[in-house]
Structure 1
């Protein structure tokens, strides 16, 4: 399995960040790999929530995934698992830790296995992995820009 781990500090409270990143209707605002979220069976998400997404791998390959919320400790941690046609699997954890001065650290860990066995793994190392790492960096930069640019008392949906 390939692994991507990224961390960023954001000048917002853990609650504000966690509410935003777990509002799956808003993922396309900041998560560049997400093209569409659908079939979301409950809001706000809870352990057991299921949904489907179309995600972009390597910047151009659309993959439909079925997700399941495995763990949720509001406002600190959420863990998702997904399957994709052809045997692809993903696990993603998002952890928000409060820091001094109203800041928070956001950590995203993503483990994924592309379909196609050994050929899929080779393609991932040669093509997908670097692009997916760039997408993760861009997504976190978007998250920071949006949340630090937002007024802290902005109403939530």
Structure 2
């Protein structure tokens, strides 16, 4: 299984951080690989909402990476599952109160199958790069 995880503290309330993360349209503000994103179905930030996103793949080629929100506990936890595209990791944002803000732990997990096992190391690097973007999330939220 490929796994990547990162955490940091953001000087905003858990409710503010959750609200920002739950609205997938905000992804473009802090995730560098987003080429486009739109709410496909459902209510923003609610379980069952599906976001259609196009990501920068190898060589900058566009790839699909649609995801569905699978759990939403405001101020505490947001889970999602990628439902379209070549790699389909599951992700979780765990939020907890910290002195002066919120500690965010972002984790991604993927069980490679078939040919995906061959490109496992590349997938692991991509997942690591994704969770490492929490620093950008911190800058965006603290400057708002």
| TM-score class normalised by the smaller sequence | 0.7 to 0.9
Report if the CA contact (8 A) 2:107-2:131 is conserved: no
Call closer, same or farther: CA 1:9–1:57 in 2, change over 3 Å.
Answer: farther
Instruction: Report the CA distance between 1:113 and its aligned residue.
Output: 4.6
Spell out, residue by residue over 1:43-95, the C-alpha distance to the aligned partner (whole angstroms, 9 max, x if none): 43211112221223467353213322111111211111122346x32211111
What is the alpha-carbon root mean square deviation over aligned residues?
A: 2.3
1:113-152 CA-to-partner distances (Å, cap 9, x unmatched) read 557x2x4323231x34224313421x211111111222xx
The reply on whether 1:136 has 2:135 as its aligned counterpart is no
Structure 1: give runs of 5+ residues left out of the alignment: 151-157
Query: How far, CA to CA, are the matches of 2:110 and 2:60 in structure 1?
Result: 17
How many angstroms apart in 1 are the aligned matches of 2:85 and 2:25?
23
Residue 145 (structure 1) aligned with residue 125 (structure 2): no
Distance of 1:50 and 1:146 partners within structure 2: 23
- Count of residue correspondences: 144
Matching residue of 1:33: 33
Q: Secondary structure at the match of 2:32?
A: coil
Q: Does 1:72 align with 2:72?
A: yes
Q: Which of 103, 106, 109 is the aligned partner of 2:104?
A: 106
- Residue 16 (structure 1) shift: 1.1
SS in 1 for 2:75: coil
User: Structure 1 length normalisation: TM-score?
Assistant: 0.78
Say if 1:90 and 1:112, in contact at 8 Å, map to a contact too.
yes
Query: Can you give the 5+ residue segments of structure 2 that lack an aligned partner in the other structure?
Result: none
Contact 2:92 2:108 in 1 (8 A): yes
* Larger gyration radius, structure 1 or structure 2: 1
For 1:84, what is the secondary structure of its paired residue? coil
Residues 72-91 of structure 1 aligned to structure 2 (within 5 Å): 72-85=72-85, 88-91=87-90
